[in-house]
Each structure stands twice: as structure tokens, then as C-alpha cells.
Amino acid sequence: MFIYVLSRRKLIITFLLLIITIGLFSLSQHMLSIPSLVRTPGTYYMSHTQEKVVALTFDDGPDPIDTPDVLNILKAKKVRATFFVLGKAAQENPYLLKRLINEGHEIGNHSFTHNYPQSKFMVEMSQTDQVVFEATGSHTYFYRPPRGLVTKTQLETIKQNGHIVALWSVDSKDWRNPGVKQIVDNVMRDVFPGAIILMHDGGYQRSQTVKSLGTILDSLQNLGYRFVTLSELKSLDSEMK
């Protein structure tokens, strides 16, 4: 029988390699747990078009303080956007839903509470759709799951319910409150024709979002971009025609 005896040095090297391997595996598992937006099959995160057009989207509202400020800026710049509302916030501020529709914006569904057992996602989606319908007379068409997390089974269920799961391709990261300049830089660095831009008008104090919005709109318009709702962006997708 052959017995191989490792030296102390080889034992240390083997141990370090084992630790590195475990660390890399853990990192890869963590990365897989983060929603890979561009690689989520069956979701809508961009439009395939060469035209300089983007869809600006806002999550977690409507908020009685920040949403009106966002709407005032959009109105002044003659820009329309898509707002993914939380049912609970919408129920508390139905007048803002009416203002969204009256000013030409589109309303998407972002669940009722943003924090719920996954088994209740259809209930949450239906509740929000009902709140929107009662305030505006219109049903939601696009659904954005909180944090962009959706399983294959949920995706099929949502489609069967008549909704399209809409994610994003440019994250402003305004939810981190990284500073106004950084929010602007995040958008301008990653934007491309057909992109869906993620921002927030509720869920937390959004003064940085409000302060960055005008600069983002001006900068993109200066580059020749125009803004459309998600439905309009989808109609421009060459792969949908």
C-alpha cells in the first residue's frame, strides 16, 4: 500500500486552495441570487431598436411629497414616463393616480406592499390592479416584481393573468441615495437606444432623485434621445413586429 505524506507547506497550500475554492463558489452563488436582468428569459427589459428612444420608469410611489415634484419636472420638460405603483401607496393617494393619467403617463403594477410571502404575489398584484382601476378606470398591463425577482413559475402565471413582466436595463441606483451626481452618471454611463431606466419616486426620501431628474432629462435630450412610455417602447421593438 502506498501512503503519501504531505509536508506542512503542502498542507498549508492545499488548505488555502480549498478556502479560495469555497470562497469563489460562495461568491458565484451570491451573484446568481442577484437578478441578472439582461439574462432573465421571458421578461421585458429593453427594446430592440436603433432609434434614440428610452422609457423612464419610477417605482414605489405614489408619494405625496416626491411624486408631485417628479411630475412637475416631467411636465415642464414635456416628458411622459411609466410609474410602477404600490397598491397601498396608491390607495392612500388616489388623486396622484388620476394626475398620472391626466398628464399622459402610464401606470404599472409593483405589488401591493412590496414585502410579502411569495405565495401571495398574485393576490398582491390583483389588489393593486383593482386600486388602479377604481381610481382611473384602467387596468395595469406591465408588472414589475419587487427587487426584480421572479421565478419561472411566477412568470408563466403572470403572463396567463394578462400582464407582462417589465424589468429594466439601466439602473440609476437612486435607491442607494449615492448623491445627485452619481445618479446622473449611472444613467448617462449605461444608457443606449431602447433602454428602460429605473428610478424611484417613493419608498423612501427621494430628494436626490428629484434633484437629478432635470439634469438626466436635459442630458439625454441633448444627445438626441426622446422619452416614451413602456407601451410605446414595446411597439418600437423590431423583434415584436
> Which residues are part of the catalytic machinery?
59, 200
User: Hey, is 137 helix, strand or coil?
Assistant: coil
Q: Report the C-alpha gap between 65 and 69 in whole angstroms.
A: 7
Amino acid (1-letter code) at residue 61:
G
**167 CB-side CA count, 13 A:** 19
Which of 204, 189, 142 lies closest to 167, judged by CA?
Answer: 142
Only one residue has cell 436603433, namely 50
- Could you tell me the three cell numbers for 106? 402610464
Whole-angstrom distance, CA of residue 215 vs CA of residue 12: 55
